[in-house]
Amino acid sequence: MKKEGRCESLRIVLILMTLFLVLFTVSGAARAAEIANLNAEIDDRSKLVTVRGNIDSGADQKVSIIVLDPEEDLDYIDQTSSTSDGSFEFSYKLKNESTGTYTVKVGGEGVETLGQTTFDYQPRIDECFIATACYGSKYHSAVALLRQFRDQCLLTNAWGTAFVDSYYRYSPSVAEYIAGNGALKTLVRILLTPLVVMAYLVLHLKYFLLLLLLVPGVKLFRYWRRGLSY
């Protein structure tokens, strides 16, 4: 473990030295290179950050990256080499998970001016407000099932994502009103029952289809056995 820690520390020192050289020792227009098409994006669910770009000096150029969180603390540092067309890519999982704007700075061999871009991170709310208000706990099995349906079915397409975004925009105030009214909680719970059943069937579709095939299969088997007995 100590050896691995020393290797990681050495790697970070080497990257910092490279950035230092990029910033303070690169000179001469003939040697100048540029970082172009720099883009950074994050998947809010997986917290996976992907940074892509190009260095116009071509293949096998050392490219270094630093990512600062909204408080300007270091979130990520690394180094890679450009591909045959000068493109490069970094990918990592967000460490600090602070809400706000992250700053990405990229330098490389012969680069006088660092490439810079930003991305915004907003933690995804993992709540089903109305269902939680009706069932009394976010750990209720029906609420957990609806969350699973949201993640595996709705958030995998544009229409579903738009619906979820609208739900989170308006549902907190509705859920607060429902939570304070016992009769309304019961009514909404009844109205949610078909949705819970549908979510269960969709998530367990293969088992449901197997059951549909199994029932007539058993009946046919019994009919066949009865025919043999005559």
Share of the chain above pLDDT 70, in %: 75
Of 44, 50, 46, 105, the C-alpha closest to 74 is 105
Nearest-angstrom CA–CA distance, 93 and 91: 7
CB of 15 within 8 A of CB of 78? Answer: yes
- Choosing from 81, 100, 121, the residue where a domain stops is 121
Residue listed under structure tokens 């059943």: 197
Whether 114 and 144 share a structural domain: no
Mean pLDDT of 152-159: 85
Average pLDDT, the chain: 82
Binned at pLDDT 50, 70 and 90, residue 25 comes out as: very low
Q: What is the pTM of this model?
A: 0.55
Q: Which residue has the higher pLDDT, 221 or 222?
A: 222
- Asked whether residue 164 carries a pLDDT value surpassing 90, the answer given is no
Total number of domains constituting the chain: 2
Whether 53 and 113 share a structural domain: yes
Q: Residue 66 contacts by C-beta under 8 Å, 6 or more apart in sequence? A: 19, 74, 76, 77, 104, 105, 106
Binned at pLDDT 50, 70 and 90, residue 33 comes out as: confident
Tell me: the pLDDT tens digits for 165-192? 888 888 888 998 998 888 999 999 999 9
- Asked whether residue 98 carries a pLDDT value surpassing 90, the answer given is no
Domain region containing 57: 2-121
Largest CA distance in the chain: 100
Whether 113 and 192 share a structural domain: no
Whether 98 and 147 share a structural domain: no
**pLDDT of 105:** 96
Q: Which residue has the higher pLDDT, 12 or 72?
A: 72
Whether 96 and 137 share a structural domain: no
**pLDDT of 212:** 64
**pLDDT of 34:** 92
Whether 82 and 169 share a structural domain: no
Whether 8 and 94 share a structural domain: yes
- Asked whether residue 225 carries a pLDDT value surpassing 80, the answer given is no
Whether 137 and 168 share a structural domain: yes
Whether 144 and 185 share a structural domain: yes
Tell me: the pLDDT tens digits for 38-97? 999 998 777 899 999 999 988 899 999 999 999 999 999 999 999 999 999 999 999 877
- Choosing from 121, 145, 164, the residue where a domain stops is 121
Nearest-angstrom CA–CA distance, 57 and 33: 6
- Choosing from 94, 121, 148, the residue where a domain stops is 121
Whether 97 and 168 share a structural domain: no
**pLDDT of 24:** 47
Report the half-sphere exposure of 36 (CA within 13 A, side-chain side): 11
Of 85, 101, 103, 111, the C-alpha closest to 32 is 111
Whether 105 and 166 share a structural domain: no
**pLDDT of 65:** 95
**pLDDT of 28:** 46
Whether 153 and 221 share a structural domain: yes
Least confident of 56-70, 101-115, 145-159: 145-159
- Asked whether residue 15 carries a pLDDT value surpassing 70, the answer given is no
Binned at pLDDT 50, 70 and 90, residue 101 comes out as: very high
